[in-house]
Structure formats: C-alpha cells, structure tokens
Chain A
C-alpha cells in the first residue's frame, strides 16, 4: 500500500533521472529499468517512512548532482539486476555492483544533505575516493561513514525484500546484492559474486555465509567487550549491527536505550545501542560523507581482499538480513499507523498501544539433547552465550511491552535473562517444567506499562491422570495497564490476561495437547470470570508454542471455540506429521479427558468458584455445569441401585448402561469440546504477496508454524446493554506485526538457528491497541 503510494511519488523522480540519463546518453536504458527503480525507491521509503522529508531532499539533491552521470545512470540500472543478468555478460554484474554501491552512496549522502548544504558533498566525495581505493586510514569518521552506508543498505534491503518477495530467487538475488554492497563498501573491492543464472539459493548464499563465518568469531568477542569506550573504536562490527537494527526500528527504541549503558552486566549489549545513539547524533551533526570515485574506477579496483586483511574490522553482514527479512507490517490502512499519535481521543476515551512478543528461545539443554536437528548449523551459532547475546539484542531491539518466552532454561533465566531483563525494566515470572527437563516458560512485562493483578503458574502434569503425565507448563498473568504520571504509576483501563504456554511436542499425542490446552483455557476462563464478577471486561492474549499447525483441530478449537473430536486420529490434532500410514492409530473418543480433571467439555472448571457467581445471592453454592454432571453419570457410585428404591415395573427397573447411553445421548454435549473465549490469531499463516506459508520454526526436517499469538479482537457488538457503556470498545485492536518468513527464505540463511536468529523458532511480535478509560 505504502509502497504503491510511494511508487507514484517517486516514479516522477525516476522518470526525471531517466531523462537526465538519456541526456548523458551513456547507455540506453530500457523503460523497465526505470520502472524498477521506482519500485525499489518506493520500498526504500517504506521502510523509512519516518524520514519522508528525505525523499524530497533526495530529489533536490539529485538534480544538481546529475552531472555525475555515472551514479545516476547506475541508479537506474540497479533495480532490475536479474533481468540484466539473464541477458548480459559478466560486465553487467560488475556494473550492477557498482550501481548498488553508488546508490547507497547517493542515499547516504542524501541523508546527510538533510543537515548539510550540498556544498559539503563535494568534500565528502573526495574523502570517499581514497578510502575506497586503497589505504585504510584509521579514521573513525570513515568507519562511521561505513556504518552510514550500511544503514542505508539495510533499509534498502528492506525494501528490496518487500517488493520482491514473490520470487524467492529474486529475493536471494537482492540479498546477495546487499551483501555485495556491503562488501564493496567495506573492503572496497570485494570480489564480484557471480549471480549468473541464480542457480539455487544455497549456491547464492554460500559466499556470503563464508564471510559470515569468518567474521563471526571476532564479532562475538567484540560483543562481549564491556566498556563502551573500547568498543567504540575496535569493535565496530557490533556497533554496526545495532545501528542497522535500530536504524530500522522505531524511534521509541532509541529513547529507551538512553540511560542504560552504564550497567555493567548489560554493557556488552547496551553499549552497542548507546553507541548507536551517539553515532546517529554524529550523523545529525554532520561528518564527512565520502562519495565514491567514478564508477568505472571502482569496478576496476583490485578484485579480492580477504576480509581479515582489511583494515576495517569485518562487519557482521548478517544483521542487515534481519532487517531485510523481517518487516514490520501495519495491519490496517496507513491511517491506523498514524492513530497512535493522537492518543487522547476526545471525551474520556484514551487508548494505549503495547507490543507483545512470543518467543521460543530453544533451551540449550534441549539443543544438546537433539543435536541431530541442528546438524546444518555452524557450531558457533549453537553456542549459548552467542545465542543469548543475539536474543537479548533482539528483545532490546523491539523492546516489547510483554514478552512471553518458552524453553527458558532455569539456570539461564536466573543467571542471565532475568537480571538483564530486569535491568531493561521488565518484571519476570518464571515457571519451570515439572519433571526432569530444565526449561520452562517466562512471562515478562514492562513494569512501567503494566501492573500485576495475579499470577498463576500452571502445571499440566497431574499424577492421578494418565492423560496428563507430561511435564508441560504455562503461565497465566493478569495485568492492568499502567500510566506513568510524573513519579506515580497509575493503573487504569480494563485488565489484560496474558497466557503463555508450551504444549507437548509429541506429534502422536494430540489428545494430550488438547487436554493441556483445556487446562489452560479453563484457567483463562476463570480469570475472565473473576473480572466479569467485578464488572470488567478482560482482554486476552494467549501465546506460545502450541506445537500444532494452523487450521488443525487444536487450532480450530482455539479460534472457533468448538471441536468435534469423536473418532479423530490423535496425530491429526496437531498436524505436525502425517502419521496416517502408521498401523496403530490412536483415536479420540468421548470423554476426551476424565471427569476427575474437573474440567468440562466447555473448557471451564467444573466447580464454579465463588467469585464467578453473581455476587449477591449465589455465594457458597454448589454449582455444576451440565457436562460436568454428565461426566459423573456412570461413575461407580452412580451405578449401584439405591437400597430404598422401590421396584416399579416400567418405571424404576432400568439399569445404567454406559454404552447405550453414549449412543443415544445428545452429541452436542459429549463429542464436542468447546470454549467461550473469543480468540483470533495475529498471524494469518500465509505471507502476503508470495502466498507462501509462514514459518515460525525450522530445524533439520521441516519448517512450520507452531507458535501463535492469539488475542481477543475488538468487535463492535450491537447489543450492548450492559449498563455503563464502558465496554463498547472492548477487545484489542491489532495494529501491526513483525512479518514472518517462509521456509525457503530461512533455508537460504542456512536454516535456524543462524547468525541472525538465535533460536530454531522465530520471534512473534504484534502491536495492539487497548482502550483506556481516563478517570
């Protein structure tokens, strides 16, 4: 949408450029190229829509500059590299590379031009010359310049990805180009990677990967450098990482990082962002931007330099990928993006935006235990300390208000995650799995935005129930939005129930998964009812790793509130594997779970507790729901004929017969499991554009969506006569989410975990809007 919009904005620019180009008449440009440029530009701006002004600046800046036709011309070319490759010889590629490089210069320079008059650009250009061609001076400004470049590249990458998702190969091509861009910028004359024919994704990425591997060790070291000062000069690589990240994210993140770098345990991570801030300030105040030498010169530069030999510390090229691949997507039309700005709605209404992240972070012990799932990974990306730093960076980057983690290893939680997250302003709740497994779930929320009402750790293990002999857990937290006014934190608005779980993995035991889910739903239901008893509507977030695919019966139960399960094969419940060929096929039959669980077919606790009853008159009563009573129907005690029962033929001469009753009994109650929570998935499980399935997890065998964020969507109900009318806008409004990736894209990054994504799952991130009632 925005892309299109910007396309039309930028199209004239590209036309203009094309015109200049043809004037220069260095080469003939097919119109398609022009078109491509426009598209490309559009994407670029999309990712940086905060800098709209740049566009115009770019425009202004480009026109005087058009004399240096080389760049401009190349600029025209670069968007359609693949096409050229198809037809053209290797020269095209070189050209392309140069083009890309040139373009990033353009972009960077344009940014600079925001604060500097065009006159300075000349100067910048001259500086760039020496840098690119030969001796690498010890000049931090230079490095800064590179960072700048990379920043620009990363944003550009974002757009490329966005606009070209349709074709994975093209995507790869784009990705590769990004790499090339980086390399060329960094080492000046990084060898041109051959794109010819774009044979397959693996091949394409390999060169890039190699360099990643070469550099990663160093990067790791650098990340751990505690001192801000130190890291500033030698540890450029991590700095650049964060820069790229942060450059891309919203401004809010910046603000948050501000004062935190002083904390030592955090320093290694936070210093990065701190530096980023400094650097970006530098950017604003204006340092020299070296524009490159002529394109031809560049192309003719020496062909190969090993990254290690470069003066410039190798830049971890992977990070821009993150930016590249995962794009923030607003749900509604662009109008909704602007909405947060006008938070105080007239009258007494106000809204609050908050973000929720769900992330299975792959416990180290589980990784060790299932090493065969990760044979495709370079060893260093499996190292916990490395993964942990990536993970914390990712959290820091997005700084979600609510963070639901799964597979959090207990010692890691206590030693690393909890301390760091606490320093980042989170309050954390942890629930370790029962049994011998060392991991568990953690739910963290930003204390400045939510206050805690209640916390319920849930254990799905029940020693007395064979069906629940698995050691999975969940956490249900009831929060209340808080608003900081001056020094005091004030709670306001409707409560928010956040449930976080990691259901059983075993693909064959759908029955266990369903029952575990029922326990979770019953607990949520209880919380919702307790809110209702206080006259409040409770919004829900239910997220985690459900180990079930989209549109499978378990998913269906969550999203539609109903599942007819009689005769269903257990493996089908989650759909993780097709086990239909297995000889033994366990099927589901009523009752799905035993009555001793005291959970009804409605996924509610059988014995309604006091607080759920209507407050006035019903306290202390023994209430039982229909389905609960039905479950006791054929319990042993009920099958004994009462002694005092007179035998009246045709009246009291019946005998209990469970089998008969099962058949004749109304199916509505016995073969269906339901719940009354209104839940919808944030993700739609299909990537927009390409139509490829989204993937939230990937290991050696397959990729799939098994992680979800479910929420209670805002529905406008016409029949609200509940009284105070406070609830007319109950529910959560989904504002945006971080896009997921498709399986082939992930494989192009050598699967998961990799140098960007520290787990075998991707993080899920969504932004919601909540109605507050200002007192």
Chain B
C-alpha cells in the first residue's frame, strides 16, 4: 500500500502509454513513463523493422540456444518531463544472438546493471517479442517481480538470464523475457511469461527463480499480470489526480 502513496503518478497516460507500476522507485523527482510504456504506432514500425532483419544464427562450433534473444536498453533522459518521452524513443535494441558464445559477446561488452547510472533498464526478450505489454506474446501475460536492495542487481540479473537462456525454467515456450530496472533506491528484476492464468507455470517459474537467484531469504516475490499493471497504473493515476486536486 505504501507503494501506492509513494508511487509516482503518471500524469498523462496518453494513448497506450501505460505506466509500469513496479518500478518501485520512491524517487519522486520526475514523472516518467517507464519500462513498458510505448506507443503503439511506433510499435508497429519496430515490428516491421525487426521482421525485416535477418535472424541470427549460431556460429560454427558454438552452443546454440533454444531461442534467439534480443537485448534492449532503455533510459529515461534526465531533465525532460516523462510525458514527453515516448517509451519507444527511450528503448534501444542492442543486438540479437543465437548461441551461448554470442550471448557472452554482447554481455561482456555491456556495463553490468549494478554499474548503470540513472534510470535505466536492460531488457532481454526472445527475438520477435518486444518488451512491451502490448506485444502479442505479452498481452495475456504477467511477470514475477523481485525488488532488490542496491548491490545485488548485477549478480541476480546474470543468474536470471543465464537460467532463462539455458532453458532452466522448464516451462516450454512460456517465457517471454526478463527485465532489470535500475532505480534510485532499489533495483528490480522481473521475468515475463505468456500466460498469466497458468498457475502451474507461474509457480514453476517462481520456484526456479528462488533456486537460481540464490536470493536472501526475506526477499519478496510478487506476480503481476500485465492487465493488473494497467489497472494499477490507472488507479494510481486517479489517486494522483486527487492528490493534485487536493
């Protein structure tokens, strides 16, 4: 509940720009649409772009992954009101890979999440799935969210994505991707799956998370459906408006 009150309000949920509620950052400096916020129109453009792109393939002698994945990076530009920044503008595709070796090639040249500055996110999604609620793969989905105190993000993120790439979750094609969000006072990692209503799958993901992340015992894990997230954003929007009006 506290979160609701501290939560920074989205002032202007235009179009489909929905707030990703679980950023959980308590900094109230600026309003900003976050991770999964974006505009549909641009989505479609992107979609076309990526479909035009050639699929990456594993190199000779490399260890192929079950799926190809794409790294994304997003960052809220400081100093500009969030409302003016579209999600799409903020998110950048870093690159796609098809093998363990190719993964490391990207990963090793990226700053680790714990060392990122500012309001930044890394997204790692299956190739073809955009890190947005509106993507077909995500529409009916949800995510497990783990809030981490500062200092843990790098290790947990690495464990999480290695487990995901190595198909350790054993939930078939349910996994969509994972996100690490660097915030002011805490970091958040989340893993998205396709079908929020599939409790067996979500339970299995949770158990695997516990195992692979080696989390502190008091870590809280919560599951959110993306539709809940949308509602939540709306609620917080309304509340904020009340506060503002008060």
Question: Which A residues contact B (CB, under 8 angstroms)?
Answer: 607, 613-614, 617-618, 621-626, 628-630, 632-635, 637-642, 644-646, 648, 650-656, 666, 668
Query: In the complex the two chains form, is A637's CB within 8 Å of B105's CB?
Result: yes
A629 to B63, CA, bound (A): 9
Which residue of the partner chain, among B94, B101, B112, B212, contacts A632 with CB atoms under 8 Å? B101
* New contact pairs (6) apart from A614-B170, A626-B163, A642-B109, CB-CB < 8 Å: A618-B170, A629-B165, A645-B95, A650-B117, A652-B94, A654-B111
Known contacts A648-B92, A651-B120; decide if A656 and B63 are in contact (CB<8 Å). Answer: no
A463 to B66, CA, bound (A): 30
Query: In the complex the two chains form, is A642's CB within 8 Å of B106's CB?
Result: yes
Q: Which 9 A-B pairs have the closest CB atoms?
A: A638-B104, A656-B108, A624-B166, A637-B101, A617-B172, A623-B167, A622-B66, A621-B66, A638-B105
Chain A residues within 8 Å of B148, by CB: none
Known contacts A624-B166, A626-B163, A637-B59; decide if A655 and B109 are in contact (CB<8 Å). Answer: yes
Q: Chain B's nearest CB lies how many Å from the CB of A405?
A: 39
A666 to B162, CA, bound (A): 14
A424 to B64, CA, bound (A): 51
A611 to B136, CA, bound (A): 33
Chain A residues within 8 Å of B108, by CB: 633-634, 638-639, 654-656
Q: Name the interface residues of B147-166: CB closer than 8 Å to any CB of A.
A: 155, 159, 162-163, 165-166
Query: In the complex the two chains form, is B62's CB within 8 Å of A637's CB?
Result: yes
Chain A residues within 8 Å of B103, by CB: 629, 638
**Sample of 25 A–B contacts (CB below 8 Å):** A621-B167, A623-B167, A624-B165, A624-B166, A626-B159, A626-B168, A632-B63, A632-B104, A633-B104, A637-B104, A638-B101, A638-B108, A641-B109, A645-B95, A645-B106, A645-B109, A648-B73, A651-B120, A652-B73, A653-B111, A654-B110, A654-B111, A655-B109, A656-B104, A666-B214
Chain A residues within 8 Å of B11, by CB: none
Tell yes or no: B116 within 8 A of A by CB: yes
Known contacts A638-B108, A653-B111, A666-B155; decide if A645 and B94 are in contact (CB<8 Å). Answer: yes
A652 to B92, CA, bound (A): 12
A626 to B64, CA, bound (A): 15
A622 to B165, CA, bound (A): 9
Chain A residues within 8 Å of B163, by CB: 626
Query: In the complex the two chains form, is B109's CB within 8 Å of A629's CB?
Result: no
Chain B residues within 8 Å of A635, by CB: 101, 104
Chain A residues within 8 Å of B104, by CB: 629, 632-635, 637-638, 656
Contact with A along B25-44 (1 / 0, CB 8 A): 00000000000000000000
Tell yes or no: B100 within 8 A of A by CB: yes
Closest to B73 in A: A651
Chain B residues within 8 Å of A655, by CB: 108-109
Q: Chain B's nearest CB lies how many Å from the CB of A282?
A: 67
Query: In the complex the two chains form, is B165's CB within 8 Å of A651's CB?
Result: no
Highest count of chain B CB atoms <10 Å: which of A613, A622, A640: A622
Q: Name the interface residues of B138-192: CB closer than 8 Å to any CB of A.
A: 155, 159, 162-163, 165-168, 170, 172
Query: In the complex the two chains form, is B167's CB within 8 Å of A624's CB?
Result: yes
Chain A residues within 8 Å of B212, by CB: 626
Count the A-B residue pairs with Cβ separation under 8 angstroms: how many? 111
Q: Chain B's nearest CB lies how many Å from the CB of A598?
A: 9
Question: Which B residues contact A (CB, under 8 angstroms)?
Answer: 59, 62-66, 73, 75, 92, 94-95, 100-106, 108-112, 116-117, 120, 155, 159, 162-163, 165-168, 170, 172, 212, 214
Chain A residues within 8 Å of B166, by CB: 623-626, 628-629
Query: In the complex the two chains form, is A651's CB within 8 Å of B95's CB?
Result: no
Chain B residues within 8 Å of A633, by CB: 104, 108
Chain B residues within 8 Å of A621, by CB: 66, 167
Query: In the complex the two chains form, is A624's CB within 8 Å of B172's CB?
Result: no
Known contacts A646-B94, A654-B112; decide if A623 and B105 are in contact (CB<8 Å). Answer: no
Query: In the complex the two chains form, is B100's CB within 8 Å of A632's CB?
Result: yes
Query: In the complex the two chains form, is B94's CB within 8 Å of A630's CB?
Result: no
A359 to B159, CA, bound (A): 44
Query: In the complex the two chains form, is A630's CB within 8 Å of B105's CB?
Result: no
A630 to B163, CA, bound (A): 11
Chain A residues within 8 Å of B64, by CB: 622
A624 to B58, CA, bound (A): 15
Q: Chain B's nearest CB lies how many Å from the CB of A160?
A: 56
Query: In the complex the two chains form, is A652's CB within 8 Å of B111's CB?
Result: yes
A645 to B108, CA, bound (A): 12
Query: In the complex the two chains form, is A622's CB within 8 Å of B116's CB?
Result: no
A650 to B120, CA, bound (A): 11
A652 to B101, CA, bound (A): 17
Which residue of the partner chain, among A624, A644, A650, contacts B100 with CB atoms under 8 Å? A624
Which residue of the partner chain, among B95, B101, B120, B168, contacts A623 with CB atoms under 8 Å? B168
Highest count of chain B CB atoms <10 Å: which of A638, A645, A654: A638
A592 to B132, CA, bound (A): 42
A621 to B63, CA, bound (A): 12
Chain A residues within 8 Å of B106, by CB: 642, 645
Chain B residues within 8 Å of A618, by CB: 167, 170, 172
A637 to B63, CA, bound (A): 11
Chain B residues within 8 Å of A626, by CB: 159, 162-163, 166, 168, 212
Chain A residues within 8 Å of B100, by CB: 624, 629, 632
Which residue of the partner chain, among B66, B92, B102, B120, contacts A646 with CB atoms under 8 Å? B92
Highest count of chain B CB atoms <10 Å: which of A625, A630, A637, A648: A637
Q: Chain B's nearest CB lies how many Å from the CB of A173?
A: 60
Closest to A623 in B: B167
Chain B residues within 8 Å of A639, by CB: 105, 108
A656 to B94, CA, bound (A): 17
Chain A residues within 8 Å of B62, by CB: 637
A654 to B214, CA, bound (A): 26
Which residue of the partner chain, among B110, B162, B167, B170, contacts A651 with CB atoms under 8 Å? B110
Chain A residues within 8 Å of B170, by CB: 613-614, 617-618
Q: Chain A's nearest CB lies how many Å from the CB of B103?
A: 8
A618 to B208, CA, bound (A): 15
Q: Chain B's nearest CB lies how many Å from the CB of A608?
A: 9
Highest count of chain B CB atoms <10 Å: which of A607, A623, A629: A629
Highest count of chain A CB atoms <10 Å: which of B64, B92, B103, B170: B170
Query: In the complex the two chains form, is B95's CB within 8 Å of A644's CB?
Result: yes
Chain A residues within 8 Å of B162, by CB: 624, 626, 629-630
Highest count of chain B CB atoms <10 Å: which of A634, A644, A655, A668: A644
Closest to A622 in B: B66
Chain B residues within 8 Å of A629, by CB: 100, 103-104, 162, 165-166
Highest count of chain A CB atoms <10 Å: which of B59, B94, B104, B159: B104
Chain A residues within 8 Å of B95, by CB: 642, 644-645
Chain A residues within 8 Å of B63, by CB: 607, 622, 624, 632
A607 to B94, CA, bound (A): 28
Query: In the complex the two chains form, is B101's CB within 8 Å of A622's CB?
Result: no
A642 to B62, CA, bound (A): 15
Query: In the complex the two chains form, is B111's CB within 8 Å of A640's CB?
Result: no
A622 to B162, CA, bound (A): 13
Query: In the complex the two chains form, is A622's CB within 8 Å of B65's CB?
Result: yes
Q: Chain B's nearest CB lies how many Å from the CB of A651?
A: 6
A644 to B92, CA, bound (A): 13
Closest to A647 in B: B109
Which residue of the partner chain, among B65, B116, B155, B168, contacts A625 with CB atoms under 8 Å? B168
Q: Chain B's nearest CB lies how many Å from the CB of A452?
A: 31
Chain A residues within 8 Å of B94, by CB: 645-646, 652
Known contacts A632-B104, A645-B94, A648-B73; decide if A623 and B155 are in contact (CB<8 Å). Answer: no
Closest to A635 in B: B101
Chain B residues within 8 Å of A666, by CB: 155, 214
A618 to B109, CA, bound (A): 31
Chain A residues within 8 Å of B105, by CB: 637-642
Closest to B101 in A: A637
Chain B residues within 8 Å of A632, by CB: 63, 100-101, 104
Q: Chain A's nearest CB lies how many Å from the CB of B90?
A: 12
Chain A residues within 8 Å of B159, by CB: 626
